[in-house]
Amino acid sequence: MSLRSVQGADLKGKKVFLRVDFNVPLKEDGNVSDNTRILKALPTIEYLLEEGAAVVIASHLGRPKGKVVDALRLTGVAKELEKLLNRPVKKMNDCIGEDVAKAKEELQSGEILMLENLRFHLDETDNIMNFAKELAQHCDFFVEDAFGCVHRAHASTQGIAHFLPAYAGLLVKNEVGALKAVFQNPHKPLVMIMGGAKIDTKIGVVRNFLHKADTFLIGGGLGNTFLNAKGFNVGESLCEHDKASLAQDIMLEAEKYNERIVLPHDVKVASEAREDAEVIDLPIQDVEGDMKIFDLGKITTQRFVDIIEYAGTVIWNGPLGLFEMKPFEDGTRVVAEAVAKTKATTIIGGGDTLEALARFGVSEKDFDHVSTGGGAMLEFLEGKVLPGLAVLSR
């Protein structure tokens, strides 16, 4: 896939509708508590301004489901952006309407206008063309820089491209470039680390890489589902019992390609998820009764680390245990540290995975690529056509 880059557009004196992903956590007072996603968008915003464009910024925040929710207004986000850019950001109280149209029409080169939460309107997620047309009003170009949203066919990610020339921002361009390299010529061995809770979000990636990857390291709730499919008792652990046949099919298919799906050999169990839980590390075949698996065991963790050490490329999405609690953090923490130290090309993604890195003090700078879109990253690796990227294709 080759994308039209905004770096090839003549922006001087033009008005750009810039879709970003400023879906950031807020404090109770409405101010931003973690500005990572805003920082990631700065290179594109600064480029547009340097090239002489006027910039209309649009984003969603949370899931208001078409209703105005004061706690999900972008006012605090606009303040944070203003501080980071050290220049004024005019914030609107809506993303469409007469006041917005007038503000866009009057916007001058070098100025920034931030629209209100797009998802205060159901027309955004329903991809209604009249809504997309109104978003595009008084703008000359559409620039997509919200990689975390490109797997959604929404008005601001796909519909608007019917009314404006569409280009990829710098963040989207970098995301696609890093992920494309995995398909085209990955350094071998290619190791896929898959965790998290649900098999449905990972199944497509596993299948798409059955003939590409050398090893799959599987843990978390996803690992429990595979263990259950192999006939092991997982007690009362998080497990999708109804997906056993699906997991069995994957393991059988993997054998055709001589792929190694590595599942936990031993696990950490407890009766409840508590900070003061009494934890036992035992072989998977000894799990029984009301035991609950919350983490990888020490032997499995070391096995994962040994495989990572000799990898050429590592792709990781999803935690390997209940890392939010101290008694169950070791598996995810030790693996995170191993991936950070390896000489392999490393690509990680997923909100929970990034949350784990922050908890353990592992710097994103220790990885070759940190994706801003967990779901979009997975669907891209699954080989799907993402609507928000399709409109940017040459």
Model pLDDT for residues 100-113, shown as the tens digit of each residue: 999 999 999 999 99
Which of 79, 90, 180, 198 does the annotation list as catalytic?
Answer: 198
Q: Catalytic site residue 37?
A: yes
**Domain ends where: 140, 174, 208?**
174
Same domain, 260 and 287: yes
**Domain ends where: 125, 149, 174?**
174
Residue 392 lies in a domain: no
Same domain, 128 and 31: yes
Question: Which pTM does this prediction carry?
Answer: 0.89
Our count of domains for the chain comes to 2
SS3 state at 15: strand
Does residue 258 register a pLDDT over 70? no
What domain range includes position 31? 6-174
Question: What b-and-e string marks burial along 315-352, b requiring 16 or more CB atoms within 10 Å of the CB?
Answer: bbbbbbbbbebebbbbbbbbbbbbbbebebbbbbbbeb
Q: Catalytic site residue 375?
A: yes
Same domain, 160 and 222: no
Q: What is the CATH number of the domain that holds 226?
A: 3.40.50.1260
Same domain, 30 and 165: yes
Residue 391 lies in a domain: no
Same domain, 117 and 258: no
Same domain, 153 and 190: no
- pLDDT-above-70 percentage for the chain: 99
SS3 state at 217: strand
DSSP result, 29-72:
TS-BS--HHHHHHHHHHHHHHHTT-EEEEE---S--TTS--GGG
Same domain, 369 and 274: yes
- Considering only CA atoms, which of 316, 302, 285 is closest in space to residue 220? 316
Same domain, 129 and 190: no
Which of 30, 79, 351, 359 does the annotation list as catalytic?
Answer: 351
- pLDDT-above-90 percentage for the chain: 83
Same domain, 220 and 249: yes
Q: Catalytic site residue 351?
A: yes
Residue 179 lies in a domain: no
Mean pLDDT of all residues in 291-316: 96
For residue 203, what pLDDT is reported?
86
Residue 145 lies in a domain: yes
**Domain ends where: 153, 174, 195?**
174
Which of 19, 37, 40, 333 does the annotation list as catalytic?
Answer: 37
